Structure 1
Amino acid sequence: MTDSLHTLTTYPIARQPGCPFDPPAELIEAREHGPISRLPFADGHQGWMVTGFDLVRSVLADARFSSRKELMRHHPLIDFGDIEVPPAPPGEFLLMDAPQHGRYRKPLVGRFTVRRMRLLTERVEQVTAEHLDAMEQAGPPAELVTAFAKPIPAIMICELLGVPYEDRGRFQDQIDTFLDRESNEEDLIAAYTATQTYLAELVAAKRANPTDDLLSDLTDSDLSDEELRGMSLILLAAGLDTTANMLALGTFALLQNPEQLAALRADPTLTEPAVEELMRYLSVAKTFYRTALEDVELGGHTIKAGTMVFLSYNTANRDPERFTDPHLLDIQRQDGGHLAFGHGAHQCLGQQLARVEMRVALPALLNRFPTLRLAVPAEQVALRPETADIYGVKSLPVTWDA
């Protein structure tokens, strides 16, 4: 490692062909130069990219770095010019700081505890079995994203919020469209508007006729309908896209690492460490940003007030100063602990639900189909672009011996 300060040349940075699980090579190279690099912005300003585990963790725990949307005045891809970025809409607490952030997060924390999420295990097992039954009855091949990875977390988050069963298909299609960065602008806006309209109607329905679900419980608080709609949107987006991509990309990674796959099949006690290792290894929620509220010393450099800092979770989770052989998938890894769910006040609220879904669904899939394998060459698996907020596969064709 050298002490010279690295400057990234482009952003986002494409991954190397044939390396679907590794962070982009230039980000890995930047980490080799040191845990922080310069990141030029589209408007000529300079920002920073933090690639080291300890520095990413420290920024996430430091209240001098803000999550507020309206402070995003500079960006590596967007020249905002004189345009003022508006604050996050009511309820969309991921893009807020305390005390607003705490106002929305606090009533949710008790509903996403380890104990409560583990009580959902039986329902996750039932939903998983239903989709595996359908795959088996249809016979090989199958497209794993639509047949398995996407519907399981979709059903669970919809049930938690109280989305009526008959609405789930249309609702999921709308969410898929506005989360897809490759959708054209017209379709994206239409899907986002339709989702917002639906959520507003759902909040009104729960307030009028509460049922046994999270959203109905929240209508008994002092939160407004607009705030509940925003909170619901955040929970849906976070609860759907991340876990769906972890299930699909995690399966892909295990199929490409047959020794790890065999070990997991042979020893059910490895399920929990395997899920944690896949979270670390893949880091599908790969990059977040913060804005310095004052001048801050970080990694021996002064981050000026108002400067944006991008946090590279995928290189932090591959930091050789934190993990032995960081680019190796090892489901029996002893140096655990990762930042896949973030850290600090904004640490992922739904992480325990994601863990339950992964711990149930992945081994169930692998045990139901002992000969599961890719139906296309690995290099033909369609990957999400680096511009997507959540990394993963667009489609994962698989087959097995019927």
Structure 2
Amino acid sequence: MPSKREDPLGLPVGLEVFRDGPPAKVRMADGSTTWLVGRHADARSVLADPRISADDTHPAYPKLLPVPAEKGALSFLRFDDPEHGRMRRMLAAEFTVRRTNALRPSIEEAVDRLLDDMLAKDGPADLVADFALPLPSLVICVLLGVPYADHGFFQRASLEFLNVEADPAIAIAAAERLQEYLTRLIAAKVADPTDDLLGRVAAAQVVPGHLTEEELVLMARLLLIAGHETTANMLSLGTLLLLKSPDQLARLAADAPAVTEELLRHLSIVHFGLPRTAREPVEVGGVTIGAGEGLVVSLSAANRDGAHFAGDPEAFDAAREPGHHVAFGFGAHQCIGAALARLEMNIALPRLFARAPGLALAIPPEDVVFRPEQFVYGIAALPVTW
């Protein structure tokens, strides 16, 4: 599986052929083989097909993370219906557009407070540590009801958990620390429900026949990790890309949603793709995937498919016609927090450049350290001046 990028903000090396061609067999790091799906239409077909399973306990399921399936690594994200639907429905009311938009004032306040602190510094600041990482961490803590004072703990554990090159023992230990922490937190919310997502779900659903406390713990771990890691990396990578693209940056103030969608398409930060297994023989793009065979859907390749996206698919161009990117996945397992991620980006990026119109890198672009080993692609640090 390719992971390195010649251009750190471009398509991972080796995916060009899969972007333009039918599914093909590739060799995984563990020596196994799987089908790699790259074309946009094929990606959507696979992700929406109920004959193709997200269950990571299947022997042929592509192993992209070092944590074993029995650890419940990604909760309902790795379940099929009806169990997936049962658990997702318990969260649906918490992620409606209306409830998400109700968070706007608190997000705006957090953005302004973080920018106040960053811009008050005399010298260069690290945009990752001072802005891109704390903002979604603050938001997800408020949403879930997790104390922000513990952000250092769950940020470190998340990095260890999502490192695809890590010793499995390190990733498992990180998963277990998060699980122990959230077990204590949720037990307290079950005993005395709080007015936050975990408290409301605990009060309404942790009853016989609905949701167990263990299921809620695994659900909480998924939301906590995904809720800060993905948006944090989009904010830092997006800032870097905008600094390198002044023509696109000029569009940000007038049409932040269009710029955000193009950033999501162009960067596709879940760069290792989404793994699946065929339950039965399935034809995908003219190729028959055998029953029990594994697949990986490359979101990066699908989002650079020139047969689907008008113009140059490699270009970062917010003026292109919208093409329904798959940065959040597709189908039943599409990211439940997509609206929240969009809202955070649409608030944070315009405010950042409005407050710091002279924002610039404090180091040469070639010295920026990326994190290709992380399941969610990102930047280790981004020194900036203004």
Q: Which residue of 1 aligns with 2:384?
A: 398
The answer as to 2:313 corresponding to 1:326 is: yes
Q: What amino acid sits opposite 1:66 in the alignment?
A: S
Q: Which residue of 1 aligns with 2:181?
A: 198
**Aligned equivalents of 1:41 and 1:279: distance in 2?**
26
The answer as to 2:333 corresponding to 1:346 is: yes
The answer as to 2:283 corresponding to 1:309 is: no
Query: Compared with structure 1, are the counterparts of its residues 89 and 288 closer, same or farther at alpha carbon in structure 2 (3 Å cutoff)?
Result: same
Q: What amino acid sits opposite 1:243 in the alignment?
A: T
Q: Which residue of 2 aligns with 1:360?
A: 347
Q: What amino acid sits opposite 2:101 in the alignment?
A: R
| Segment of structure 1 superposing worse, 152-161 or 67-76 | 67-76
The SS at the match of 1:328 is coil
Query: Compared with structure 1, are the counterparts of its residues 89 and 31 closer, same or farther at alpha carbon in structure 2 (3 Å cutoff)?
Result: closer
- Give the counterpart of 2:266 among 247, 262, 281: 281
Residue identity over aligned pairs, in percent, reads 45
| CA deviation map 1:13-54 (0-9, x unaligned) | 4211xx11111231113334x132221346765421111000
**Aligned equivalents of 1:191 and 1:41: distance in 2?**
24
The answer as to 2:37 corresponding to 1:50 is: yes
TM-aligned CA deviation for residue 89 of structure 1: 2.9
The TM-score, its normalising length taken from structure 2, stands at 0.92
Q: Which residue of 1 aligns with 2:245?
A: 257
- Give the counterpart of 2:220 among 225, 229, 232: 232
**Aligned equivalents of 1:67 and 1:59: distance in 2?**
11
**Aligned equivalents of 2:305 and 2:347: distance in 1?**
29
CA RMSD of aligned residues (A): 2.2
Query: Compared with structure 1, are the counterparts of its residues 72 and 153 closer, same or farther at alpha carbon in structure 2 (3 Å cutoff)?
Result: farther
**Aligned equivalents of 1:263 and 1:176: distance in 2?**
33
Q: Which residue of 2 aligns with 1:112?
A: 95
Could you tell me which runs of 5 or more consecutive residues in structure 2 were left unpaired when the two chains were aligned. none
Q: What amino acid sits opposite 1:365 in the alignment?
A: L
Q: Which residue of 2 aligns with 1:69?
A: 56
The SS at the match of 2:95 is coil
TM-aligned CA deviation for residue 394 of structure 1: 1.3
Query: Compared with structure 1, are the counterparts of its residues 300 and 397 closer, same or farther at alpha carbon in structure 2 (3 Å cutoff)?
Result: same
- Give the counterpart of 1:154 among 122, 133, 137: 137
8 Å Cα contact 2:107/2:139 also seen in 1: yes
5 Å matches for 1:57-206? 57-73=44-60, 75=62, 86-87=69-70, 89=72, 92-181=75-164, 187-206=170-189
The SS at the match of 1:310 is strand
Query: Compared with structure 1, are the counterparts of its residues 188 and 335 closer, same or farther at alpha carbon in structure 2 (3 Å cutoff)?
Result: closer
**Aligned equivalents of 2:251 and 2:73: distance in 1?**
47
5 Å matches for 1:369-388? 369-385=356-372, 387-388=373-374
**Aligned equivalents of 1:176 and 1:353: distance in 2?**
21
The SS at the match of 2:258 is helix
5 Å matches for 1:4-23? 11-16=1-6, 19-23=7-11
**Aligned equivalents of 1:50 and 1:183: distance in 2?**
25
Could you tell me which runs of 5 or more consecutive residues in structure 1 were left unpaired when the two chains were aligned. 1-10
TM-aligned CA deviation for residue 278 of structure 1: 0.4
TM-aligned CA deviation for residue 184 of structure 1: 5.6
Query: Compared with structure 1, are the counterparts of its residues 24 and 47 closer, same or farther at alpha carbon in structure 2 (3 Å cutoff)?
Result: same
8 Å Cα contact 1:88/1:95 also seen in 2: no
Of structures 1 and 2, the one scoring higher in RCO (CA 8 A, sep 6+) is 2
